[in-house]
Amino acid sequence: EGVGPQDYTCIKLKVVEFAPETLAALAGNKEIEGKQIFMVAATLRPETMYGQTNCFVGVDIKYGIFKTHKSDELFLMTERAARNMAYQNLSPSNGQVVKVADLVGRQLVGSQVKAPLSVYPSVYVLPMDGVLATKGTGVVTSVPSDSPDDYATVMDLKKKPDYYKIQPEWIASFDPVPIIETPAYGNLVAPTLCAQMKIASQKDKTQLALAKDAAYKDGFYNGIMIIGEMAGKSVQEAKPLIRQLLIDRNDAVPYNE
């Protein structure tokens, strides 16, 4: 965990189709009938959401579906996040946590969600080893163009779909999207850094920590948006504007921990 409070943007990825395993786990559950269910992903880089290619869960992490401040919307995330949200006006009443279903990450893999701003109309839920149950919501939205962790994981999944128990087509045609241009690493910062640093897998933790640092600094201080509503603006300028745009469209909520 970081040293101080972290200001996240929680992106609402609307479930468009649950995987058969999820549906089996939810069979007969009356509480979810007629409700919109969102997988909620905490990010520090809302300006990168144009480049979402999938959503990550930890296969052994326990998730729940929770009532929210809106009667027709349910959030899928860890119970820990639901408890924090209950004190940030994101639950039915202050401090109240209402869980309507229990799920395990592996049951969610293969589900399809709509990722706001993404160039892909819908994306798949896939497994990532390093998702922490103790940070954010336990759901990570994946932007392989700008996050070395996401790119390295996507490479693993493309190389070994059987090992990760996924269908190749859940990721094969979802290429990283150029969304930010930087002088040092071009318009695909994470793939460029991973190639330069010979990072081949999400297991290369030491190298990935260095790449993450370099990508974050170059993207934030020197990046220019090359896609979407803020194209032409610097990342520093675009970040709060895109965050607000997502919140105004009901596609995100502010969240701190």
Does 44 participate in binding ligand A2H (rule CB under 6 A)? yes
**Maximum pairwise Cα distance, the chain:** 54
Helical ranges in the chain per DSSP H: 20-26, 79-85, 105-108, 148-159, 189-196, 205-222, 235-248
Return the residues of window 93-132 that contact ligand A2H according to CB under 6 A: 130-132
The least distance separating ligand A2H from the CB of residue 47, rounded to whole angstroms, comes to 9
Question: What's the count of helices (H) and strands (E) in the chain, helices before strands?
Answer: 7, 12
DSSP notation for 78-139: -HHHHHHHTTTT-SSSTT---EEEEEEHHHHTT-EEE-TT-SSS-EEEEE-TT--TTSTTSE
Backbone conformation region of residue 139, classed left if phi is above 0, alpha if psi is from -120 to 50, else beta: beta
String marking each residue 127-166 x if it binds ligand A2H according to CB under 6 A: ---xxx--xx-x-xxxx--xx--x----------------
Closer to ligand A2H at the Cβ: 55 or 65?
A: 55
Binding residue count for ligand A2H, defined by CB under 6 A: 22
Q: How far is the CB of 129 from ligand A2H (least distance, A)?
A: 10
Under the binding rule (CB under 6 A), the answer on residue 45 touching ligand A2H is: yes
Phi, psi of 54 (to 5 degrees): -175, 180
**Minimum distance of ligand A2H from residue 200's CB (angstroms):** 19
Q: Which lies closer to ligand A2H via its Cβ, residue 141 or residue 207?
A: 141
Q: In the complex, what is the shortest distance from the CB of residue 225 to ligand A2H, in angstroms, rounded to a whole number?
A: 13
Q: How far is the CB of 97 from ligand A2H (least distance, A)?
A: 19
Q: Residues in the site for ligand A2H, rule: CB under 6 A?
A: 2, 6, 42-45, 48, 130-132, 135-136, 138, 140-143, 146-147, 150, 212, 216
